[in-house]
Amino acid sequence: MKTPAPLTRDAIVGKALDIAHREGLGAVTMRAVAGSLGVTAMALYRHVTDHEQLVRLVADRIGGLVRPRSAADASWEQRARAWAQTQRETLRQYPGVAAWLINNGPAGPEAYRLLDNLLETLHDAGFDDATAISGAATIMSWTFTRVAIEDSADDRVRRRSPVRTAAFLDGLSGVDAAVHPFATGMGPTFFTLPPPEIFDTGLDWILTGFGQSLN
C-alpha cells in the first residue's frame, strides 16, 4: 500500500491554487482544501495559521506566476503594457483574486517584485519619482479593477443571474432618441464592447497620457 505523501504547507497552497483556478478564490476554504488532500481541516492548522493566511499564500503564489516579458530593446510603453497584460492574463485564470487584492493589498513578496518591476520601467523611461509613482498606481488600479469587473461578469453567468448587458440594451429600447441621441445611437456598441478591447484601449490611453509629460 502506497504511503501518503506528508502534508506540507507547499502541498496545501498548491491544492488551494488548483481550487482557485477551477472554482475561484471564494471556493478556497479550509474544509475544501482539506477534503481535496484527504485530511481533516484541523490538520491544515499545523501548517497555516488560518484561512486568511492561506488566501494570502495563494495570492502570493499567483503573483509568482506573473512574469512580464518584453524584448531587450522594448520601449517603456511596451514594457508597461506587457506588465499589465501579463497581470490580466494570469489573474483572469484565478477568479476573485483581483478583487481580493483591491480590498487587501499586497499578499507577499511577489507583489513587491512586481511593483519594483513596474516602477523600474517608469524610472528608466525618465519619469520623475512622483510621476512614476502616479503612473504605476494608475496602471495597477486599471488592471486590477478591470479584471475584477470581468470576473464579476463571469460569475453572474455561472450563477445564471440576469446578464447586465441584456438589461442595458432592453432599457435603451425605452429611451427617446430625440432626447438622448448619443446614448441610443452608440449605446448598443458601447454595451457590447469586448472586455479585452476595453482593457487595451484604456491602457493605451493611460500610457499615452503619461507619455505626454516626457515630451
36 & 114 share domain: no
Q: Identify whether 4 is part of a domain.
A: no
42 and 81 housed in the same domain: no
Report d(CA 113, CA 150) in Å as an integer.
25
Residue 4 has pLDDT above 70, yes or no: no
Work out how many domains the chain is built from and give that number.
2
- Residue 42 sits in the same domain as residue 103: no
pTM strictly above 0.85: yes
Which residues 6+ apart lie within 8 Å of 203 measured at CB?
81, 84, 85, 139, 142, 143
Query: Which one-letter amino acid corresponds to residue 196?
Result: P
Cα 202 to Cα 29, 101, 143, distances in angstroms: 35, 20, 10
26 and 128: one domain?
Answer: no
Task: Please state, rounded to an integer, the average pLDDT across all residues of the chain.
Answer: 93
Residue for grid cell 481535496: 36
Please give the Cα distance from 76 to 82 (Å, whole number).
10
State which residues form the domain around 144. Answer: 69-214
- In percent, the amount of the chain with pLDDT more than 90 equals 82
* 160 inside domain: yes
Which is nearest to 24 in space by CA: 156, 199, 151? 151
Span 65-75, mean pLDDT? 94
